[in-house]
Chain A
Amino acid sequence: MLSKADQAKYPVVPEAVEYVRQRGLTIEELSDQSYIPILDRAQERLRQAIVQGAVSSEWQNDDVEILSFPVAVYLSTILQDDWVRRRFALAESKRASQFLLNDDMSRIAQVASKTFGWKIDIPETDMNERATTLKVSFKNYIKNALRIRETRWKLTNRLLDHGFVEVNKDEAARLLQEEIQSRILSRMRDVPPEEPDFLRGRIEELRRLVSENRATAAFSELPKTADLAAMPPCIRNLYDSMHSGKHIPHIGRFAVTSFLVNAGVSKEDILLLFKTAADFDEKKTRYQVEHIAGARGGKTKYKPPKCATLRTHGLCIAPDELCRQTSHPLSYYRRKLYKAFPKGRRYAGK
């Protein structure tokens, strides 16, 4: 059983969730004077996440700390802003991960298995405070390690034995950080709740902080014609192959098409490119291009596969310096365009 102080450290553990549930807190009650310390702390958690990208690990009162977490989740849901959601989840997960690092391995194992259902093979040494490693089911391992980019996290570079990956304390805490982050994100509902009057002031203050702190360089829109020179080597290679009528595998076609769709190239222009392909079938190709562009079927506009996927399928060819700094062909493209047209003239092709 986790103590109150532990629940304050790890607000996603079932004990903390249960504690909050038993208190039966309602939105109306929050307007009561006695809840001001909780609202203050919740607002502070969010403020720190927005401004510093980190939530402080000090607190006055266990109750306030435990109860302020769900209130902070509630506030960030009201803000209805994806950037805030992700920044808050990251900051809170880092805070919890830091606490885990200073706790015993047995506590780490307990949080992992009780809160997140990890399958853990307790090593022969038995789980005690001196334990330095943990054997984690490969399934739990890859789910979280996949989001970490360094090569040492790749399963290929781990000791995998009969379904278990051995991790040290730092690594276990880092993997749990990813797990906690997704848990927090999943707790924020997509549909924002109504904005109660008594919270208006706090919400406005947070909104002001968001606009001050959010990176200004949000350029999600790309020029309408593809800039060949800014394409990553993999897409450029596929593009050239198609242009010269060479046969390329299905996943390669998908990568080029979805890349061009996202780069703002029209469906007609993409079809022209396919026309030189060895086995061109206009009707079929049009269907596929429209499907990828989101005009058909599920209406989803597909994104090209990320670098790791292209590597798996052998389509990552001659990566350059910028490739090493990016993990997605589209982010490569955006960054290269941005370098070419730093300001103002960025969308020269439009």
Chain B
Amino acid sequence: MQENNEYVRERFGEYYRDNAEKVKPPPEMEKREYGFLLFEAGVMVRHKAFKTANDLHAFIRTTVPAHAYSSTAYYLEPEEEMDRKGWQGADLTFDVDADHIVTPCKYVHDLWTCKNCNTQGKGPVPAKCPKCQGERIDEEAWLCEICLERAKEEVIKLLDFLAKDFGFLRRDMTVCFSGHRGYHVHLRADEAKNLDSDERKEIVDYVLGLGFDTDLHLDLLDRRAAPDAKVGASGWPGRVARGIYEILTETSEDELASWDINRRTAKTIAGSREEFASMWIGEKATKFPEGVGPATLRVLIRKAVERESAKVDTVVTTDIHRLIRIPETLNGRTGFRAAEASNIESFDPFIDAIAFKGEETVHVKEAPQFRIGNQTFGPYVDKVVTLPSAAAVLLVSKGKASVNGE
């Protein structure tokens, strides 16, 4: 255990010795609070401040933290206690994490363990252990391509909300890989700086589609008039129209029937898809197909909101004193860089966030298949293998491999 920790720390040390100056402090860095989690179990250093990028780089080079954070907030006195810091505003920050997205692959790579009877299972953590009914359950999440790809889709939706609905400029938004299972979006604009926590909450609710009241969007339910909510419309009405349009063109009769829509109606919809879908695009008033009532349309609207919303973490955005990972530092849970993703569409964390060079031989207890660069590894069970250092650090950090052959 100790040796594994030491191994990862050494790799981090080597990396920072040559690359600490690549770490990107946030704008107005002297007004931020900095925090570091050290490799020594659970030691957190907080309330630090740095005047210059050089000071920050030197600190990281000498302390070699497992995790490095800076505040989203701007303070007059960042080194003071929380109540005396003098809050001056904060970036509008979003965290998109695979933890908040249900993906089918979680059943393949996520493992939970009951702390009471040691029963293990795959997939999302159950509320109670199916064996002993215990409610204390440990979770071990893996980072995989499918999950990260889904997280990326959420980021793209979020950026669209921020630009088109909120009118923020793309150049004021920075997207960074978290180094683990998701992405952070930092929005730095005067308009956003002084929003209080409740106001930020309202923005989160908007992108999540939370509180969307179907009955208020009566034009979507109006059977006679063509709705205002055309696929080209702005805001939520347009998003809902596009969502329904996509659902109608993609969803099978069976799937529709699995959503509170009765089989006969599902059949009707599937049978007259084009006619139904055209009402969201065409200019002239269109009638619903016979047998499709407001109840069904409500289900479709709900599903469209679910589909179009951007699944962001609610806590990170509303916490105006939050510490968040500093871009281009290493994530101690994986050894990946929290790399800036200036082009999110083409960003590939398994290529663009790799920090280490060289190779290492490790003993893998159990690991799912994964990719580093263009090479695929695993799955492994109880095997000694020589891997690229990035892969070795990943498995050792995740507790899936050890360096001393134990």
A residues sitting closer than 8 Å to B (CB atoms) are 137-139, 142-143, 146, 151-152, 154-164, 241, 244-247, 249-251, 278, 297-298, 300, 308-309, 311-314
A146 → chain B, closest Cβ, in Å?
6
Contacting pair B213 A151 (CB below 8 A) = yes
Given A156-B212, A161-B234, A164-B167 in contact, is the A312-B136 Cβ separation under 8 Å?
no
Assembly CA distance A111 to B3 (angstroms): 68
For the complex of A and B, the 5 pairs showing the least CB-CB separation, nearest first, are A163-B167, A298-B83, A162-B167, A161-B234, A246-B135
Tell whether B15 is near chain A: CB-to-CB under 8 Å. Answer: no
Assembly CA distance A137 to B212 (angstroms): 20
Assembly CA distance A241 to B81 (angstroms): 32
**Chain B residues closer than 8 Å to A251, beta-carbon distance:** 315
Given A162-B164, A278-B115, A297-B81 in contact, is the A142-B202 Cβ separation under 8 Å?
yes
A237 → chain B, closest Cβ, in Å?
12
**Chain B residues closer than 8 Å to A160, beta-carbon distance:** 165-166, 206, 234-236
**Chain B residues closer than 8 Å to A164, beta-carbon distance:** 167
8 Å CB interface, B178-229 against A? 191, 195, 198-199, 201-206, 209-213, 216-217
8 Å CB interface, B120-171 against A? 127, 135-137, 164-168
8 Å CB interface, B52-82 against A? 81-82
**Closest partner residue, chain B, to A146 (CB atom):** B198
A300 → chain B, closest Cβ, in Å?
8
Contacting pair B82 A297 (CB below 8 A) = yes
**Chain A residues closer than 8 Å to B204, beta-carbon distance:** 312
Query: Binding site of B, secondary structure by majority: helix, strand, loop or mixed?
Result: helix
Assembly CA distance A309 to B237 (angstroms): 24
The total of chain B residues at the interface (CB under 8 A) is 37
**Chain A residues closer than 8 Å to B210, beta-carbon distance:** 156, 311-312
Contacting pair B136 A278 (CB below 8 A) = yes
The one of B82, B136, B195, B315 in contact with A247, judged by C-beta atoms closer than 8 angstroms, is B136
Assembly CA distance A45 to B217 (angstroms): 41
Tell whether B4 is near chain A: CB-to-CB under 8 Å. Answer: no
Contact mask for chain B residues 293-305; partner A; CB cutoff 8 A; 1 contact, 0 none = 0000000000000
**Chain B residues closer than 8 Å to A298, beta-carbon distance:** 82-83
Contacting pair B136 A245 (CB below 8 A) = yes
**Chain B residues closer than 8 Å to A154, beta-carbon distance:** 202, 205, 211, 213
Contacting pair A156 B205 (CB below 8 A) = yes
A143 → chain B, closest Cβ, in Å?
6
Contacting pair A159 B201 (CB below 8 A) = no
**Chain B residues closer than 8 Å to A156, beta-carbon distance:** 205-206, 209-213, 236
Given A138-B166, A146-B202, A313-B315 in contact, is the A157-B211 Cβ separation under 8 Å?
yes
Contacting pair A157 B213 (CB below 8 A) = yes
**Chain A residues closer than 8 Å to B236, beta-carbon distance:** 156-157, 159-160
Assembly CA distance A156 to B166 (angstroms): 12
**Closest partner residue, chain A, to B191 (CB atom):** A139
Tell whether B314 is near chain A: CB-to-CB under 8 Å. Answer: yes
Assembly CA distance A307 to B166 (angstroms): 25
**Chain A residues closer than 8 Å to B82, beta-carbon distance:** 297-298
A28 → chain B, closest Cβ, in Å?
39
B168 → chain A, closest Cβ, in Å?
7
Assembly CA distance A207 to B73 (angstroms): 44
A191 → chain B, closest Cβ, in Å?
22
Tell whether B318 is near chain A: CB-to-CB under 8 Å. Answer: yes
**Closest partner residue, chain A, to B305 (CB atom):** A156
B139 → chain A, closest Cβ, in Å?
9
8 Å CB interface, B79-133 against A? 81-83, 115, 127
A223 → chain B, closest Cβ, in Å?
29
A171 → chain B, closest Cβ, in Å?
13
**Closest partner residue, chain A, to B213 (CB atom):** A151
Can you list 22 pairs linking A and B with CB atoms under 8 Å apart?
A138-B167, A146-B198, A154-B205, A155-B203, A155-B205, A155-B206, A156-B205, A156-B212, A160-B235, A161-B167, A162-B234, A241-B135, A246-B136, A247-B136, A249-B315, A250-B315, A298-B83, A308-B201, A311-B210, A312-B204, A312-B314, A313-B315
**Chain B residues closer than 8 Å to A142, beta-carbon distance:** 199, 202-203
A99 → chain B, closest Cβ, in Å?
28
Assembly CA distance A300 to B81 (angstroms): 14
B304 → chain A, closest Cβ, in Å?
13
Contact mask for chain B residues 280-319; partner A; CB cutoff 8 A; 1 contact, 0 none = 0000000000000000000000000000000000110010
B165 → chain A, closest Cβ, in Å?
5
**Chain A residues closer than 8 Å to B81, beta-carbon distance:** 297
Assembly CA distance A308 to B318 (angstroms): 12
Given A156-B211, A156-B212 in contact, is the A143-B199 Cβ separation under 8 Å?
yes
